[in-house]
């Protein structure tokens, strides 16, 4: 009974989060959308605006996670199966998945209220909860069946991958708003942040096998490059090119690492796991 309740609450939290984000981005809350405030708190780490469309994919996958959880909780077939902490994802991710969604909703409210310092705390709260889910499930370090990979691991990978990038951008926005930082220093800080993002994503590939997490990093770094292909008023063209091409180079390096890692782990390739799953049906 508890598992059923948790699955329903998780799905409802996803639906509320999506609805709240949709409402918040109409500008009806506090007169501005998340994107408009992001432009006001502009920093050099912020990627091109199209990059934020990834939230559509994330929300879709979170909905898949929620629906699959309800299906597993209510399915008689799944109720009969023996489960351990790795496969019983509903119980294992509770209450952390719900808490991550609550923090995410609070982040939107605090950001729109221009309480940037508090929004940073909420952002790291989301990331902390998602990392706990990853650790508790031992994600990507055991040979899971395809449904667990696609309906549990992928949603959490995309969510945590983007939040890890967004947390860096959030800190940069707070620093720019709270302190007068010389443009030369901002350029250096931005390059350091890009390198940090690259190493975090590289570690997730090689230590946790989380290529999907790293591909979100590829998306973000490539979008930083795209942003700096147009003139940025606040910095000189040489600094703009330097940031852009460092981001592009590290995005390519991440993509290549993901490909190499995938070729080294072909036996657990999701495509192969899908075929095995279909054959067992």
**So what's the pLDDT on residue 150?**
95
Q: Which residues of 151-177 are buried (b: 16+ CB within 10 A; e: fewer)?
A: bbbbbbbbbbbbbbbbbbbbbbbbbbe
Task: Compute the C-alpha angle 250/254/256, nearest 5°.
Answer: 115
* pLDDT (tens digit per residue) in 47-91: 998 999 999 999 999 999 999 999 999 988 777 666 777 889 999
Q: Is 248 left (phi over 0), alpha (psi -120 to 50) or beta?
A: alpha
Give Cα 137 distance to the centre of its chain.
Answer: 17
Of all residues in the chain, the percent with pLDDT exceeding 70 is 98
Are the CB atoms for 73 and 4 separated by under 8 Å? Answer: yes
- Residue 236 phi, psi (nearest 5): -75, 160
More confident residue, 167 or 3: 167
Least confident of 45-49, 66-70, 216-220, 252-256: 45-49
More confident residue, 178 or 147: 147
**So what's the pLDDT on residue 66?**
97
Number of domains in the chain: 1
Question: Whose CA is closest to 146, among 265, 279, 280, 270?
Answer: 270
CA dihedral 64, 101, 139, 58 (to 10 degrees): 50
Query: What is the mean pLDDT of the segment spanning 152-179?
Result: 93
Give Cα 167 distance to the centre of its chain.
Answer: 10
pLDDT bin (cut points 50, 70, 90) of residue 29 is confident
* Domain enclosing residue 12, as ranges: 1-280
Mean pLDDT, all residues of the chain: 91
- Tell me how far CA of residue 271 lies from CA of 61, 215, 244, 265, in angstroms: 18, 17, 34, 12
Q: pTM for the complete prediction? A: 0.94
Least confident of 44-53, 88-97, 120-129, 211-220: 44-53
* pLDDT (tens digit per residue) in 191-210: 999 999 999 999 999 999 99
First-to-final CA distance of the chain: 27
**So what's the pLDDT on residue 281?**
67
* pLDDT (tens digit per residue) in 99-120: 999 999 999 999 999 999 999 9
124: Cβ contacts below 8 Å, ≥ 6 apart: 167
Helix/strand/coil for 181: coil
């Amino acid at each position: 009974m508890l598992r059923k309740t948790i699955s329903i609450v998780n799905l409802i939290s996803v639906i509320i989060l999506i609805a709240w984000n949709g409402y918040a981005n109409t500008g009806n809350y506090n007169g501005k959308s998340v994107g408009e405030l992001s432009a006001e708190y502009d920093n050099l780490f912020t990627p091109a605006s199209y990059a934020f469309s990834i939230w559509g994919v994330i929300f879709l996958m979170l909905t898949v996670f929620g629906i699959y959880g309800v299906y597993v909780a209510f399915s008689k077939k799944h109720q009969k199966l023996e489960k351990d902490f790795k496969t019983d994802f509903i119980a294992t991710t509770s209450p952390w998945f719900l808490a991550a969604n609550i923090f995410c909703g609070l982040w939107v409210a605090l950001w729109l209220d221009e309480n940037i310092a508090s929004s940073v705390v909420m952002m790291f709260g989301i990331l902390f909860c998602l990392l706990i889910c990853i650790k508790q499930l031992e994600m990507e370090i055991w040979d899971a069946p395809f449904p667990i990979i696609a309906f549990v691991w992928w949603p959490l990978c995309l969510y945590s991958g983007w939040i890890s990038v967004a947390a860096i951008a959030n800190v940069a926005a707070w620093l720019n708003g709270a302190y007068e930082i010389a443009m030369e220093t901002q350029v250096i800080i931005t390059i350091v942040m890009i390198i940090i993002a690259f190493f975090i994503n590289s570690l997730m590939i090689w230590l946790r096998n989380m290529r999907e997490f790293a591909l979100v990093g590829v998306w973000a770094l490539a979008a930083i490059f795209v942003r700096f292909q147009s003139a940025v008023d606040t910095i000189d063209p040489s600094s703009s090119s330097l940031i852009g091409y460092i981001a592009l180079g590290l995005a390519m390096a991440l993509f290549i690492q993901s490909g190499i890692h995938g070729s080294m782990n072909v036996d657990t390739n999701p495509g192969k796991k899908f075929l095995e799953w279909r054959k067992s049906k």
